[in-house]
Structure 1
Amino acid sequence: MKTVLITGANRGIGLETSLVFAKAGDKVFATMRNPDNAIELKERILKDKLEIVVMKMDVDSDDSVNECISKIYQDSGSVDVLVNNAGIERHGAIEEMDISVFKEVMETNYFGIVRCVKAVLPKMRESKKGCIINIASVAGRISSSPLAPYAASKFAVEAFSEALAQEVKSFNIRVGIIEPGIINTDMARDIRHGEPNSNYPQSFRFGGMFAASLENPTSPIMVADTILSVAESESWTLRHPVGPDAQPFLDWRKGMTDEQWVDWNAQNDDDWYDAVKETFGLDARINVD
């Protein structure tokens, strides 16, 4: 039985990840900013009689992270698997978002991971074992307007994780990066509602692509199963795209120059909608009609 710490576990990917680890026989510490909001998770714990401990932890706070993880060590003696899932998303045109938005997203999505990793590394290093899984995104390798704040934070997660993997391998600590595509979560459903009053067309029409994709949704359970598989394996593979659109989208982007990518997203509305339909088979106009 492993001791597993999961951040942002109150809903979506974090909730499902907590459940799959517990059902696999592991002891799970499911952490979140507001445990009172974890109604569904608590119901599932009672229904299935799962060994999941719900705890309060705000990844934006040094004190909160250190206090929570210290309690986990007092209870279990170790953290065998850390799943850094906590994250937020903000979208819009760069000119039209306040600088505080960029700072808020980076604080949670990037510095939150840094805090948690630094809190568990000493004991993992001493015991010469452990697994750290960071939830990034396809948006951590492909930047699209209007996701500048989110993509920037996930690019940072990718870079941090790649450097971390180099540092800790000699201590037998594995690092994995999970890169979901469009997954049926609250975050994705929020993106589908564009910004119709923006001066920049990308702020609205990109939401149409998400709305079209969510017509055939991919469950967060697929991501949770991948996270469990990575933790249970002995693989040192670093990156793990998840979802039917993830690897195809990465491959498609890889076949373009940077200039072609910029031009593709800078097209006028009609040409962009037609290109999305032709390339992905998605009618992004459904969010417009």
Structure 2
Amino acid sequence: MKKTVLVTGASAGIGQATAILLAQNGYTVYGAARRTEKMQDLKKYGIKPIALDVTQDESITACVDQIFQEAGSIDILVNNAGFGSYGAIEDVALPDAKYQLDVNVFGAMRLAQLVLPKMRENHYGKIINISSVGGKIASPLGGWYHASKFALEALSDAMRLEVQPFGVNVVVIQPGGTKSEWGNIAVDSLLRVSGQTAYAGLVTAFKKSFEKVAGNVPEPVVIAKLIKTSMEAKNPKTRYSGGYMAKPMLFLRKILSDKLFDRILMSQLK
């Protein structure tokens, strides 16, 4: 029987690549995003575009209800919707910081709350939360973004233990750099928020470092394949990582002291 998958943030990047890959491999795929006009091309793959604003509870509820009515259940949830709000912690306005967590954390967890009852009832389900290397490693100028991804990782760990007895798996995906709108949005946000403040020198170094690696990052299908692997594993790992520098960075973070890792990180921003 075909599994039904909801992929959020499907209008671009990793979400779009994942929706296409899964549709090509026989899944019933709903691609959700605020920008439904950017998902019209997905229809040719058999993907069903659906409007979703993860910061609005009525939008989240309507999205899940529609899929339940049409497909009966959501077997796999890929919580991919997210963005990076960059700027020094001192400079980011608190409403913007809260919005970052609303999108990257609370929206994802609200979706999980709504799909879990049927998953428990069916004794089957997978919740795939798209975190980041930045869910284990915090760099300067991305504090609020990192806070959101660290939180997503902690919630995933707790949820995994809660729902395992019901036949539901929770998996974390930790992308490194990949080609998407994400990087440019983050840099634009950084320049706007901290480009003219006491942190301007650090901002310039960060932007230079970002531009240096931008050409080396792989296409988002690399992460889409990881997501598919995690979905199809009988006993999935708790975490999968991939993309530019993901594995070496996570390894170094694990074995080095905080201060030594700090020095390595800051050496890249000179």
User: In 2, are the aligned partners of 1:140 and 1:155 still within 8 Å (CA)?
Assistant: yes
Structure with bigger gyration radius: 1
Instruction: State the secondary structure of the residue aligned to 1:18.
Output: helix
Name the residue aligned to 1:61: 56
Question: Deviation of residue 88 (structure 1)?
Answer: 1.7
Question: Deviation of residue 263 (structure 1)?
Answer: 4.8
User: In 2, are the aligned partners of 1:79 and 1:124 still within 8 Å (CA)?
Assistant: yes
Cα displacement string for residues 167-189 of structure 1 (whole angstroms, at most 9, x for unaligned residues): 01111101110000111111113
- State the alpha-carbon separation in 2 of the partners of residues 263 and 231 from structure 1: 37
TM-score when normalising by structure 2: 0.92
The answer for unaligned runs of 5 or more in structure 2 is: none
Q: 2:118 aligns with which of 123, 130, 133?
A: 123
Q: CA RMSD in A?
A: 1.7
Cα displacement string for residues 29-65 of structure 1 (whole angstroms, at most 9, x for unaligned residues): 10111212x1xx422532xxx2210000111111111
TM-score when normalising by structure 1: 0.87
Change (3 A) 1:264 1:132: same
User: In 2, are the aligned partners of 1:6 and 1:84 still within 8 Å (CA)?
Assistant: yes
Question: Deviation of residue 244 (structure 1)?
Answer: 4.0
Name the residue aligned to 2:174: 179
Cα displacement string for residues 110-166 of structure 1 (whole angstroms, at most 9, x for unaligned residues): 001111000100000011001110000000001111111110000000000000000
Name the residue aligned to 1:32: 33
Instruction: State the secondary structure of the residue aligned to 2:90.
Output: helix
Name the residue aligned to 2:252: 252
User: In 2, are the aligned partners of 1:128 and 1:173 still within 8 Å (CA)?
Assistant: yes
The answer for unaligned runs of 5 or more in structure 1 is: 266-271, 277-283
- State the alpha-carbon separation in 2 of the partners of residues 167 and 219 from structure 1: 34
Cα displacement string for residues 234-271 of structure 1 (whole angstroms, at most 9, x for unaligned residues): 12311111114101011122232123334555xxxxxx
Question: Deviation of residue 192 (structure 1)?
Answer: 4.6
Instruction: State the secondary structure of the residue aligned to 1:94.
Output: coil
Which shifted more, 81-90 or 205-214? 205-214
Name the residue aligned to 2:103: 108
Percent identity, aligned pairs only? 34
Name the residue aligned to 2:67: 72
Amino acid at match of 2:216: N
User: In 1, are the aligned partners of 2:120 and 2:168 still within 8 Å (CA)?
Assistant: yes
Name the residue aligned to 2:222: 222
- State the alpha-carbon separation in 1 of the partners of residues 176 and 238 from structure 2: 17
Cα displacement string for residues 185-219 of structure 1 (whole angstroms, at most 9, x for unaligned residues): 11113345553423123333222222111121211
Amino acid at match of 1:99: L
- State the alpha-carbon separation in 1 of the partners of residues 185 and 100 from structure 2: 15
- State the alpha-carbon separation in 2 of the partners of residues 264 and 219 from structure 1: 26
User: In 2, are the aligned partners of 1:72 and 1:78 still within 8 Å (CA)?
Assistant: yes
Amino acid at match of 1:45: K
Amino acid at match of 1:19: I
Aligned length: 264
Name the residue aligned to 1:167: 162
The reply on whether 1:9 has 2:4 as its aligned counterpart is no
Amino acid at match of 1:226: L
Instruction: State the secondary structure of the residue aligned to 1:6.
Output: strand
User: In 2, are the aligned partners of 1:101 and 1:149 still within 8 Å (CA)?
Assistant: no
The reply on whether 1:198 has 2:193 as its aligned counterpart is no
